[in-house]
Amino acid sequence: MLSRGSIREPAVAGMFYPLERSVLDREVDALLNRVEVEEIKGELRGLISPHAGYIYSGYTAAHGYRLLKGKSVQTVVIIAPSHREYFRGVSVFSGSAYRTPLGILEVDDELRSELVRDGGVIEASLSGHREEHAIEVQLPFLQKVLAEFKILPIVMGDQQREFCVALGERLGRILNGKNALLVASSDLSHYYSYDVACKLDQVVVNDVRGFDEERLLKDLDTQQAEACGGGPIAAVLIAAKKLGADKVEVLNYCNSGDVTGDKDGVVGYLSAAVIKGN
C-alpha cells in the first residue's frame, strides 16, 4: 500500500517488460542498439514516447531514448494518462521515488513543490500512480541512457483542454533555465483494423509534426484521431514552446500489426522529438 513519502514499487515488471534485472538490462540495450544513430539539429526539449509492452512498442520508444545517450539531464518530467482510475485534475506523485528492476529513481521534490505551489487542478497525490504503467515503462530506458537524474512523475486523471493548458503553461514557467526534459507517454489508436488505424494515427502524426497542440486537441475531441495520452502530448508541446522549442521531428511510427503480423485490431505507436533549433 502506497503512502505519502513512500517508494512506488514496480507494478508491471514481468508483464510489460522483464522482471529480472539482467534480462531487462540486455533487452533495453538490444532495443537501443537496433536504432540507427540520428542527428538532430538543436536542443532536445521533449519526447513523445509509447507505453505498451516492450515487445510491441519498445523499438519505437528506443528511437527517442537513443537521442539521450551521452546527454546530461537533471530532471525528467514524465506526463502520462491514467488508465486505471479516474480523478479530476493532475496528480504529481507525492512519494519519494519510483523503483524499477534497474534501481531507484528519486523524485525531484523541489520541482514538485514549485509545480503544485499555486494549487488549482495540479496537486501532489498518489492518485493515478499506484498501478499505472504509462510512466513505469519509460523508466528503464531512461536509466540506461542517462547517468544521474531525478524524475517528476505526473498523471492526468482528466485530459480536458483547460487541464492540458494549465499543466503545460505552468511547466513552461517553472522549467525555464533548468536542465530538464519533458516526456509525453502515449499510444495512439486502439483496436482498429490496420488500414483504419494508420489513417487515424496519421492525423496525430501530422498535428504533432506541425507542432500544433490546438489542432491536436480539436482532432481528438471531434474523434478525427485517437491517442490515450493526447492530453500529455498537448501539455508537453505547450511547455516546450514556452521553453523555446520551435519544431518537432517524428522519429518512428508503427503499430502492433507491424510487429505481430496480426492486422485485425492494432494499437499505434509514435516516437517524436521536440526541439529548440539552433
> What pLDDT score does 247 carry?
96
238 located within any domain: yes
For residue 61, the enclosing domain spans 7-276
Average pLDDT over residues 89-110: 96
> What pLDDT score does 1 carry?
46
Q: Which of 123, 122, 58 is nearest to 269 (CA)?
A: 58
Cβ count near 18 (within 10 Å): 18
14 located within any domain: yes
User: Would residue 261 be called left, alpha or beta, if left means φ above 0 and alpha means ψ between -120 and 50 degrees?
Assistant: left
> What pLDDT score does 4 carry?
53
> What pLDDT score does 42 carry?
92
Is 70:205 a contact under the CB 8 Å cutoff?
no
1 located within any domain: no
Of residues 194 and 5, more confidence is placed in: 194
> What pLDDT score does 39 carry?
81
| pLDDT of residue 140 exceeding 60 | yes
pLDDT > 70: percent of the chain: 98
* Candidate from 118-122, 211-215, 255-259 with smallest mean pLDDT: 118-122
Predicted confidence band at 130 (pLDDT cuts at 50, 70, 90)?
A: very high
Helix (H, G, I), strand (E, B) or coil at 209: helix
The Cα 229–Cα 151 span in angstroms is 19
pTM over 0.85: yes
At what angle are helices 194-209 and 213-221 packed, to 10 degrees? Answer: 150
| pLDDT of residue 3 exceeding 70 | no
Average pLDDT over residues 267-277: 96
The Cα 34–Cα 203 span in angstroms is 27
54 located within any domain: yes
Q: C-alpha distances in angstroms, 80 versus 36, 126, 156, 261, 263?
A: 27, 14, 6, 28, 27
> What pLDDT score does 37 carry?
79
Q: C-alpha distances in angstroms, 64 versus 31, 36, 52, 59, 216?
A: 11, 11, 15, 10, 20
| pLDDT of residue 245 exceeding 70 | yes
Average pLDDT over residues 199-227: 97
Question: What CATH number has the domain bearing residue 255?
Answer: 3.40.830.10
| Number of domains the chain contains | 1
Average pLDDT over residues 46-73: 97
> What pLDDT score does 278 carry?
65
The Cα 270–Cα 41 span in angstroms is 20
247 located within any domain: yes
Task: Render pLDDT for 164-195 as a digit per residue (tens, 0 to 9).
Answer: 999 999 999 999 999 999 999 999 999 999 99
Residue type, position 63, single letter: H
Q: C-alpha distances in angstroms, 229 versus 12, 36, 118, 157, 216?
A: 18, 26, 24, 11, 11
